[in-house]
Copies of this chain bind each other. A is one copy, B any other.
C-alpha cells in the first residue's frame, strides 16, 4: 500500500523527513525486516540525553511470534487495540528513573521523547510509519515484561508499513483523513516574557 501523503502545512521550510512524518493508524500486515528494526532503534540510540545518560529502554513484539504479539496488543487500551493489534510491530518505551550514579534524573521522560522522535523520523526515512498511544495499561506492561520498579513505562506504539485506512473500524477511516493541525508558531515561541511572541514568530 502506498503511503498516504499528508505533509505539514508549514509557515517556513522544514526538512522533508520532519514535514512528511505523521501518525497514521493504518498498518499493512507486511513484516518489518530485522535490518529496518535495527535501524530505527539505532536512530533512537543516538538521541541526545542529559549527561548522555540514555535512560530509554524498549520492549518489542513482532507478529512473527503470535503469542508475544498478542500479549503486547493486550497492553493497549481497548480503543487503541483497534489499530494497534493489526500492526506487525508493537513497542513499549520505558525509562530509567535514576542516572547511572544513582541520582534522580529529572529528564528521563524528556530524553525518552527525543529518542522516540528520532526513531519515528528514521521510520519515515525507511518508508515506515509510527503511531503512539498514551492509552496503555502500564500495570499490565509492568507485569507482562517484569519491568523493575526503577523504570517507568512511558508509552506504547505501533510500527509498520502503511496500510489501507478504509480497513480500519468505526470512525477511524475518517480520522485518518482529517487535516493535520498545530497551534500557531506565535503561541509557542516567546521572547522577553512568557506569552509574548518572539518577533521572528509573528
| Chain B neighbourhood of A189, CB < 8 A | 41, 57-58, 60
Contact B15 A43 (CB under 8 A): yes
A194 in contact with B107 (CB, 8 Å): no
CA distance A173 to B194 in the complex (A): 35
Q: Enumerate chain B residues within 8 angstroms of A109, measured Cβ to Cβ.
A: 107, 109-110, 113
Q: Choose among B59, B118, B134, B188 the residue that contacts A56 (Cβ–Cβ < 8 A).
A: B188
Complexed CA–CA distance, A42 and B132 (Å): 21
B14 touches A188 (CB 8 A): no
Give the shortest distance, in Å, between A92 (CB) and chain B (any CB): 9
Quick check: is A120 within 8 A (CB to CB) of the other chain?
yes
- A110 B155 Cβ-Cβ under 8 A: yes
Q: Which of B14, B112, B180 contacts A110 (CB 8 A)?
A: B112
CB distance from A118 to the nearest CB of B (A): 6
Give Cα A33–Cα B30 distance, bound, in whole angstroms: 44
B-side contacts of A113, CB under 8 Å: 107, 109-115, 117
Min CB distance A38 to B, Å, is 4
User: In whole angstroms, what is the CA distance A182 to B11 when docked?
Assistant: 35
- Of the residues B18, B94, B188, B191, contact of A54 by C-beta under 8 Å: B188
A200 touches B14 (CB 8 A): no
Taking the closest CB of chain B, its distance from the CB of A45, in whole angstroms, is 5
Q: Is the CB of B23 within 8 A of A54?
A: no
| CB neighbours of A195 from chain B (8 A) | 146
Q: Does A147 contact B (CB under 8 A)?
A: yes
Q: Which residues of A from 24 to 39 have beta carbons under 8 Å from B?
A: 34-35, 37-39
Q: Cβ of A52: which chain B residues have Cβ within 8 Å of it?
A: 181-182
Shortest CB-to-CB span from A99 to chain B, Å, is: 10
Q: Scoring A residues 6 to 27 as 1 if CB is less than 8 Å from chain B, else 0, what string do you get?
A: 0010111111011101010000
Q: Chain B residues with Cβ under 8 A from A116's Cβ?
A: 110, 114
What distance in Å separates the Cβ of A197 from its nearest Cβ neighbour in chain B? 10
Which 7 A-B pairs have CB atoms at the shortest separation, nearest pair first? Answer: A113-B113, A114-B117, A110-B113, A117-B117, A34-B200, A12-B38, A113-B114
